[in-house]
A and B are shown apart, each in its own frame.
Chain A
Amino acid sequence: MTTAQLDKMRFELRRGVLVLAVLASLKQPHYGYSLRKQLQDGGVDIDEGTLYPLIRRLADQELLTSEWRQGEGRERRYYQLSELGSQLLAQLTDEWQNLNNAIGKLLLANSGEIE
Chain B
Amino acid sequence: MDLVKRYVAAVQRELPDNKREEIGRELEANIMDQLDAQAEQNGPLTDNAIASVLKAMGHPRQVAQQFAPIAPLIASEHMQIYRYTLFMVLGILLVLQVFNSTANWLEHDFGLLLFVKSILSGFIEDASFAFTTITLGFIVISRAKPQYLQQAKEWQVEQLPSLQASKQHISLQDIVTDLITDTFLLAVISYLLLLSPEDLAGKTVWLTAHTQQVLLLGLPLLVVGVLLSLWQLSARQWNKGMQLLNIVLNIGFVVIMLYLAFNGPLLQIDQQNWPQIYGWERLQHAATWALLIGACWPAYEVIRDVIRLRRLSLSKIG
Contact = CB atoms under 8 A, between A and B. Distances in A.
A5 to B, nearest CB: 22
A67 B25 CA distance: 13
B66 A33 contact: no
A1 B40 CA distance: 40
B262 interface: no
Contacts of A75: 25, 29
A51 to B, nearest CB: 9
A33 B33 contact: yes
A45 interface: no
B62 interface: yes
A53 B66 contact: yes
Given A49-B66, A52-B27, A31 B58 contact: no
A57 B292 CA distance: 62
Interface string A72-94: 00111100000000000000000
Interface residues of A, number: 15
A48 B34 contact: yes
Contact of A53 (B25, B33, B34, B67): B67
B57 interface: yes
Interface in A9-66: 31-34, 37, 48-50, 52-53, 56
Given A48-B57, A49-B62, A50-B66, A34 B33 contact: yes
A52 to B, nearest CB: 6
A75 B28 CA distance: 10
A76 B29 contact: yes
A77 B26 contact: yes
Interface residues of B, number: 16
A70 B57 CA distance: 25
B106 interface: no
B67 A32 contact: no
Interface centre among A34, A37, A48, A75 (most CB of B within 10 A): A48
B26 A32 contact: yes
B171 interface: no
Contacts of B57: 48-49
Nearest to A77: B26
A12 to B, nearest CB: 17
Nearest to A52: B30
A48 B37 CA distance: 14
Interface of B: 23, 25-27, 29-30, 32-34, 37, 57-58, 62-63, 66-67
16 contacts: A31-B29, A31-B30, A32-B26, A32-B30, A33-B30, A33-B37, A48-B30, A48-B34, A49-B57, A49-B58, A52-B27, A53-B67, A74-B33, A75-B25, A75-B29, A76-B29
